[in-house]
Amino acid sequence: MIEITDIHKQFGRKKVLNGVSFTVNKGEISCLVGVNGVGKTTILNAIMNLTPLKSGKISIDGEKLTSSLYNKIAFIPDAAISLPHYNVQESMDFMADYYDTWNARRAKDIVTFFRLNPSDKLHDLSKGNQAKVNLLLGLALDVDYILMDEPFSGIDVFTREQITEVFSSYLVEDRGVLITTHEINDIEHLLDKVILLDEGKIYKEFNAEVMRETEGKSVIDVMREVYNG
């Protein structure tokens, strides 16, 4: 379980996170939602120890994140993070060199599914295909937890469908998943838990399916209520 307890973060004088606490459990897909600048990416970066917090505690299966735990948790950020002059195969080889959890067979499956050409240089790929490579490099790791930041950002509807299909195939199993996205409609049916952020705090935490069944509201409906007053 990823346990986030009372985290605070400030950029200059602006308080971005003001006492956020929640958990991400294995076998559960959680989604952080909120308008731009509400601190979704900051939370993911903080979990991965990529940005320091003012205070608060984050633990993964009861342990503080250390370098060895990067074999347990993968982060797929909303940015190209491989070397642009590398091709797809070289990017995969790089991962295989460092991660014990690299699953070459799954990587090959995802490459085939996404119809990526292993010899294509990353800087020649479209934004959609670069996002696919990002997903490939994250999802091919046999980790317990996966964090994804805006996996659909700037991607066309067909590629989004493909990515959603990959999510369905590879995110289930026994992993704990935390996603941030504005394109909530695409994955709403996959979600177990929705964490709604507002003004640096968790405004509401609910199960998307229960909300739909009991109150007849979609995640977007709940977001409208919160952000449109």
Partner 1 sequence: MKKTLKAFLNLTAFELDRLSKFLYALIGVTLVANMIGYVLIPLRFTDRINAYMVQNSVTEQQALEVYGELSFYDILQTSWILGPIALGVSALLLYAFFIWYREWLGKNTFAYRLLMLPIPRMHIFYSKFVVIYVSIFTLIAIQIVSLIFGFNLMSALVPSEWLRHMSFFSALSMHPFFYYILPLEPWIFLAINGIGLVFLHVTFTVILLERSFSVKGILIGITYVLITLLIALFPAFLPELIGNHYYLYNSELLILTVLSLGLISFTSIMISRFLLNKKITV
Residues near partner 1, by CB under 8 A? 45, 48-52, 67-71, 75, 77, 79-84, 94, 97-100, 122-123
Residue 77 or 151 having the CB closest to partner 1: 77
Tokens of 161: 């469908």
The minimum distance between CB 139 and partner 1, in angstroms, equals 15
Residue 75 or 167 having the CB closest to partner 1: 75
The minimum distance between CB 83 and partner 1, in angstroms, equals 6
Contact of 80 with 129, CB cutoff 8 Å: no
Contact of 72 with 24, CB cutoff 8 Å: no
Q: For residue 137, which of 90, 200, 69, 195 has the smallest C-alpha distance? A: 90
Q: CA–CA distance from 141 to each of 118, 161, 203 (Å)?
A: 18, 22, 33
The minimum distance between CB 75 and partner 1, in angstroms, equals 6
Residue 64 or 189 having the CB closest to partner 1: 64
The minimum distance between CB 84 and partner 1, in angstroms, equals 5
Residue 81 or 211 having the CB closest to partner 1: 81
The minimum distance between CB 71 and partner 1, in angstroms, equals 5
Q: If residue 167 lies in a helix (H) or strand (E), which one and from where to where? A: helix 157-170
DSSP H helical segments within 36-156, as ranges?
40-47, 88-98, 104-114, 127-139
Tokens of 58: 């984050």
Q: For residue 32, which of 228, 210, 156, 204 has the smallest C-alpha distance? A: 204
Residue 68 or 119 having the CB closest to partner 1: 68
